[in-house]
Each structure stands twice: as structure tokens, then as C-alpha cells.
Structure 1
Amino acid sequence: MHSPDDPAGPPAFEALVADGEAAVFEGWDFGVFGDRLREAAGSWDYRDVVHGLLPGADALLDMGTGGGELLSGLSPRPGDTCATESYEPNVAVARARLEPLGIAVSAIGDDSRLPFPDARFDLVINRHESFDAREVRRILRPGGVFVTQQVGGRDLAGLNEALGAPPHDYAAWDLAAAAGEVEAAGLRVLDRREELIPAAFSDVGALVWFLRITPWQVPGFTVEGYRDRLLGLHARMASGTPLEVRAHRFLVVAERG
């Protein structure tokens, strides 16, 4: 792919857009964007939160494992570790990574029912995956813990504004809403945090690539439909001014009594 740091100068609009439309994205590792999409560190680290709970866990479920990137790196994992994934293209990627480690990956659909018996796990982790709090409570053992980091409804709102696109349809999803659902299901919230974290896109190719793999951000996005706005953003970013936005993240840690 072209780099915005090419010593020959910034690539032309059409070349960047073509790269963004053709770039391969496998699993769920946004590190492949490198400096083209930068997100500042928040006040908590999801991996560290999970690591702190691993020593007390005998049975672990990772909901929405993506390509298994995070789960495969967790140590020490319980011998009884499972994962789910709802995005069909990621299921094979996750299985290839996790099954050699003895971790079974269950493909799940839109039905919120999880394919596990009652009180199956003492630690359920969830990074950016939808959840039914009642199902989470059902599969947790008494004393078990649920950890979820969610993408909030104000996530990258500045991107939608820059494109003249409507806000996404989950704008009301925030810490208060999630914690309310968790508590209504009978779980006790132990920790809750929420932040708007600075992020930036450095070139229009990265922007197109991102929108292609996150269709919920700007539903119906096409380059042709947003060409005028993209051209304006390209001129701005090619002159050295990135598109600065804010990522919306929140964390809930809860326990089944």
C-alpha cells in the first residue's frame, strides 16, 4: 500500500482510494493500519484488566474473539477456555489460531442465546461484542466475573460529521445504558469507566479502508457517494493536517452474586 510518508510526496487521491478499497483485513487487528490510524491510550488497558482476573479463573469464555488475537496472547489461560465469534469471515481465522492451543471456537448467529450450559464459566470477557446481560448471568458461576469493553454510540462522531453523514443508529449506547442492563440482569457492577479518546486518520486511503471494514459507522458508504467530501479531506490530510476525531470507549466489570 502507498504510505503517506513516501519521500516522493503524498500519493494522489485515486491511488489512495484504490488502496483503501483493495486492502486486505483479516481477523480484528487494527494494528495493521500503523500510523495511518492512531488512537491514544485510555486511562485503562483492557488486556491488563483481564490479566488481573486470570489467576482466579478455572473456566474462561472470550465473547467475540475476532481472529483470536487477544485470547491467544493471554497467559496463564485456564485449561478450560472457549471462544465465540459472530462475524462469519473471522470464524475460520479464529479457529486456525486458537484450536491448536486447545481452545474451541463456537460460531454464533444473531440469536442472543449462547451455546453453553448454565453456570459454565467463572470469567467471561468481551471486547467490542454485543451481549445479552441475562445470557451472561446465566452462563456465569456464582462469584463469576464479566468484563466488557464496549464501543460507545459517540464513537468517531467527528468522522461522520466530516463526511456529512448521519450519526450511527446506536448513539444512545453508553456506560449508563450498559451498566443499567447488567444490573437489571442481576449482576453487581464492580467497576465502570468511560472516555472519549483522541484518534486521527492521516490519509484518505486509511479512511476508506476503515469505512469498508466497519459498515456500521457510515451505513451505505461508497466512495462515489461521498467523493466530494473525501476530496476535501484528502486535500487537508495531504497538506499534513490529519482528521482528528474521538473514540468512545467504556468498561464494565460485574460479578454474579
Structure 2
Amino acid sequence: MDSFDYKKFYNEVGQMNGWDFSRLSVIVEDALWNFWSEVSSRCKAGDILLDIGTGGGEALLRMTDAALLLIGIDHSEAMIHTANRNRERSGRSNIRFLPMEASKLGFPDRFFQVISCRHSEFNAAEVARVLADDGVFLTQQVGESDKCNLAQAFGRGQSGNAKRGTLMERYAAELKEAGFRQIDCRQYDAVEYYATAEDLIFLLKHTPIIPGFGQTESDFQTLHRFIAEHQTPKGIQTNADRFMIIAYK
């Protein structure tokens, strides 16, 4: 999927669903961390936190007690519309959602103590500029081996044929060049079990795991075969390849 198609897809998901996958029934085994717990544990009561690529703001709204002020940004106007609707429903007053490109952050230098970015692109130089001295940046990203059995079954996937760890190494190098003094990298490849075919279809329709999923009837024939081959007593088996970088300025 090229960048234009991805933006269109992401906007459509933002209007329909935001970035909320809490409705999915899925078991994850051997995940080595919870990203938002990692972010929350590094926040102090008086901190200002920035979340890049916040989607519908669902995760940020669950951790409003962690910091004094939380600001979520996203390049998608549709996602921000959904995020503000979610904020109004929550009644939380210490959170803001703004449309903004990650490549040009409209904030003063050294404004934030904590910056997070989950499954979204970021600009290392801009993160370094708006992060306070001794601040921390945390990002979790999807690894190249994610949903490898699905990509094999469909003959296409969001990472192509890239070697595992390629993106992590690139991001770590960019953060080092931007001046971060300590960069810690972690990886895991967890087993996932989706309870029903409907759970898996929802995931595939609302993420770019299989680019263009559902546009042809053959996709559902392939999915039917995939489920038959990977059905287990725990659910439909696949994997979640994730990496996290924690960078200290």
C-alpha cells in the first residue's frame, strides 16, 4: 500500500471506528510488556505528555490520571474528530486532541516531559526538539514478522519482505543522530489466538495487515482456508511481532 492509499484507508477507519480494538476477543501469550503501562510508569503528576498518532484517543483517555496534561495528535482529521467525541463522552478536562503532522510539531522547544508513539510514524529530530532535557520518548511499533502466517497465506503483507529488526535499527539510529543519550530496544514475538472468524475479519478490515483486504471475493476464500488450517482449541492462531524503543534525552 502506498502512502496515499494508507492515508485514505486510515481516514476511513477513523470515521468508522477510531483506533479502538477493545471489542476484539483475542488471547495474547508471551507479550513481554504493556506499552501504556510503560508510558504511565514514567509519568509524574506534574508532567505534560504528548502522544503522536493518537488515533481515536482511546488509550490516552484511559490514562488521564498519569499526568497533569495530555495532548494527542494525529494527521487524520477523521481520527481527531472521533478522539474529541470520545473526550466529550469521557468528561475528562486535562486532555486535548489536535490535528497535526508528526514531521512538524507545533509546540515550543522542550515543552513535554514524556512523549509516546504507538504504531505510528514519528520524526526523531522533532521529538528531540519538543522533549524536555532528561525527558523520555517511548515508541512501540509493529515488527516485520507480524502476522507472518497471514502474510504467507495471502501472498502480501504490510512489511513486504523486510528483515526482522530493520525498522527498529533505523529508528534507533535516527534517535541517536537526534541527540538522545540512551536508547534501549526490546522485541517480542507473541502468539495470538482470535476467538472467532468475525474477530479476525474486523482486525483485517480495520488495519493494513493485509493491504486491500476484502476487495475481492478470493480474499474471503483465502481467509476461509487460513482459518481451517490455523484453528486451535484456543482460537485462530497467528502472531504479534512488536518492538519498543525507550529513548532518554
Normalised TM-score (structure 1): 0.77
Q: Is the 8 A contact 1:151 1:249 kept in 2?
A: yes
Shift of 1:169: 3.9
Structure 1 CA distance, aligned partners of 2:230 and 2:184?
A: 39
What are the residue-to-residue correspondences of 1:1-257 with 2, within 5 Å? Answer: 26-34=17-25, 37-55=26-44, 58-98=47-87, 100-102=91-93, 103-109=95-101, 112-165=103-156, 168-169=159-160, 171-172=162-163, 173-214=166-207, 216-222=208-214, 223-236=216-229, 242-256=235-249
User: 1:174–1:67: structure 2 CA closer, same or farther, 3 Å change rule?
Assistant: same
Count of aligned pairs between the two proteins: 229
Moved over 4 A (4+): 236-242
Flag structure 2 segments of 5+ consecutive residues without an equivalent: 1-14
| Percent of residue pairs bearing the same amino acid type | 30
Q: Which moved more, 1:146-155 or 1:170-179?
A: 170-179
**SS of residue in 2 equivalent to 1:92:** helix
Structure 1 CA distance, aligned partners of 2:232 and 2:64?
A: 44
Structure 1 CA distance, aligned partners of 2:48 and 2:161?
A: 32
**SS of residue in 2 equivalent to 1:143:** strand
**SS of residue in 2 equivalent to 1:43:** coil
Shift of 1:47: 2.2
User: 1:41–1:95: structure 2 CA closer, same or farther, 3 Å change rule?
Assistant: farther
The CA RMSD measured in Å over matched residues stands at: 2.7
Q: Which moved more, 1:25-34 or 1:237-246?
A: 237-246
Deviations 1:19-64 (A, max 9, x none): xxxxx96222222012xx3322511221221122112752211112
Structure whose CA Rg is larger = 1
Aligned to 1:21: none
